Every structure is written in structure tokens, then in C-alpha cells.
Amino acid sequence: MASQDPAERVAQELAEWLELRSTQVANAILESVYRPRVVEPTTAETVAYFRPLLVNPDNTLNEQGKAQVIGQYGAQGYRDLARAVAKSLKAEQEQPPEPLLPTPPGGA
């Protein structure tokens, strides 16, 4: 192959670079358009969602909910969720109860 004129070589490299970059940019845009938007819930939101599923109103284990969570998330997923719910329940029990009536001014 005969050597190219330096200007032609630069023009060819620039054209190849532009083609590559435009393809990369187009692919990135298309990928972001079709990728679902996923927002990770906070721990509090996760606990609020899964607590009724895992814990009955009398604070006993909901066996049906447990089976459902294990079926959807596996044993490790259940373990992580159960730990988060248990930690939340423990924190609730350690908090002093709020008074039902406000304390009158000047004490009891």
C-alpha cells in the first residue's frame, strides 16, 4: 500500500473516530431509553412493605408470608428481610411508649 498524504490519513482517522463515537453515543442513548428505571427502596420502606407479610398483627410469624418470600427471594433473601424486620421490631420495643395525653403545664 502506498503511503497516504498526511492530511488524508488524518481525515481517515477522524472519520473512523467520529463513526465509532457516534455509534457509542447512539447505543448509550437507546440503551437508556429502553432500560427500566429502578429505584432502590430505603430500609424503612422495605420493612414497611414486608412486615405485614412476615409478621401477624399479634407479632407471630406469618408462615404463609414466609413461604411466599422464600419462593420469590430465596432463603438468603428471606434471611435478609427477616433480619431487617426483626431489627425494626426490636427498635420499636426498646422505645418508650408515647404518653396518650400530653403532660399538663407545671407537672402532673
- Return the ∠ at Cα 17 (arms to 15 and 22), rounded to 5°: 95
* 2 pLDDT above the threshold of 60: no
d(CA 72, CA 66) in angstroms, rounded, equals 10
Bridge partners for 47 per DSSP? none
63-106 pLDDT, tens digit each: 999 999 999 999 999 999 999 999 998 988 887 777 677 777 77
Q: What is the pLDDT of residues 20-42, one digit of tens each?
A: 999 999 988 888 777 777 788 99
pLDDT at residue 93 in the model: 82
Residues contacting 65, CB < 8 A, separation 6+: 52, 53, 54, 55
Structural Rg of the chain based on CA atoms: 30
Q: What pTM value is reported for the model?
A: 0.53
Residue 78 CA from chain centroid, whole number: 16
